[in-house]
Amino acid sequence: MENKMLIFGHKNPDTDSICSSLVMEKFYKNLGFDVEAVRLGNVNKETEYVLNYLGILLPREIQKVEEGQKVVLVDHNEFNQSAEGIESATIEAVIDHHRIANFQTKDPLYYRAEPVGCTSTILYKKFKEENMAIEKREAILMLSAIVSDTLLFKSPTCTQEDKNACEELAKISGIDINSYGLEMLKAGTDLNDFTPEQLINLDAKSLSKGNTKYVIAQVNTVAIEDVLKREEEIKEAIKKEISENGLDLFVFVITDILNSNSEIIAIRK
């Protein structure tokens, strides 16, 4: 087992999961902790754009954690979205902006949940509360996460706090939110290389309510009709996913990030 704390976001990591892990790594290092940001799976093209922009190497990938491993969860709390073995890890802290479910610990922990649009908005506040200077690298990481999770402030989950944090981070980093944000979002919408199976798993969340197991997956695009050209193949992939994983429902959301429209393909068992 590694002695240092491992920090990670959810499986199928999105930009918030990766960026918030890296920012928390910096936060803890500033306080003298031995920590490492890691990831639970491949990063998407949008996140790749951010890491390339900053010249940051990909965090190390892990699949599971050993019993007693000290971990910090960002951008998720539900065990089914976390690392294998999470039930017996020592969860030191959670910083998240999602509902709390399927979550339980043996020991006391630091838990910070706020109903804002992005984990990085909470991290921005943590830096402020600690009077910790925010450097350009972390400012760009947090700004990228906020732009990603709020789709440039257009998503219904976006709050005034997300906007305020992002504007402060833009000042610190000297970045134009709109032009950088649009390039970043567009980088993530290049879907041509993906098979239907990959498409429906790009940003897929496994959820359960009572005995119902379901998945909500989303892809962002600048042209919904391009994705719908592959509707039949996508439906086949969804049906396969449902039967292979014993799901009751699969909801696939295709979102036009420029016009904030979505088309939904939902299939029941």
Is the Cβ of residue 75 or residue 256 nearer to Mg ion in the bound state? 75
Q: Which stretch binds Mg ion (CB under 5 A): 16-24, 36-44, 222-230, 232-240?
A: 16-24
* Min separation Cβ 58 and Mg ion, Å: 17
| Cα 228 to Cα 154: distance, rounded to the nearest angstrom | 22
User: Which residue blocks in 35-176 are alpha helix, DSSP H?
Assistant: 45-54, 119-129, 136-150, 160-173
16 contributes a contact to Mg ion by CB under 5 A: yes
The answer to whether 156 and 172 have CB atoms below 8 angstroms apart is: no
Q: Which stretch binds Mg ion (CB under 5 A): 7-15, 27-35, 82-90, 150-158?
A: 7-15
256 contributes a contact to Mg ion by CB under 5 A: no
For the CA atoms of 64, 55, 112, 89, the dihedral, rounded to the nearest 10 degrees, stands at 20
* Min separation Cβ 221 and Mg ion, Å: 14
Closest CA to 93 of 45, 133, 126: 126
From 7, 8, 14, 47, residue interacting with Mg ion (rule: CB under 5 A) = 14
Is the Cβ of residue 68 or residue 261 nearer to Mg ion in the bound state? 261
Is the Cβ of residue 173 or residue 220 nearer to Mg ion in the bound state? 220
| Cα 38 to Cα 218: distance, rounded to the nearest angstrom | 23
Closest CA to 189 of 203, 175, 177, 178: 203
From 138, 149, 161, 241, residue interacting with Mg ion (rule: CB under 5 A) = 149
Is the Cβ of residue 35 or residue 123 nearer to Mg ion in the bound state? 123
Considering only residues 67 through 86, tell me which ones interact with Mg ion, judged by CB under 5 A: 75
96 contributes a contact to Mg ion by CB under 5 A: no
Residue nearest to Mg ion (CB): 16
| Cα 9 to Cα 83: distance, rounded to the nearest angstrom | 9
| List of E strands, the chain | 5-8, 35-39, 60-61, 70-74, 90-96, 110-113, 204-209, 212-221, 249-256, 261-268
162 contributes a contact to Mg ion by CB under 5 A: no
Q: Which stretch binds Mg ion (CB under 5 A): 14-22, 55-63, 191-199, 255-263?
A: 14-22
Question: Token pair of 70, please?
Answer: 């000290």
The strand pairing partners of 267, in sequence order, are: 250
Q: Which stretch binds Mg ion (CB under 5 A): 11-19, 174-182, 238-246, 255-263?
A: 11-19
Binding site for Mg ion (CB under 5 A): 14, 16-17, 75, 119, 149
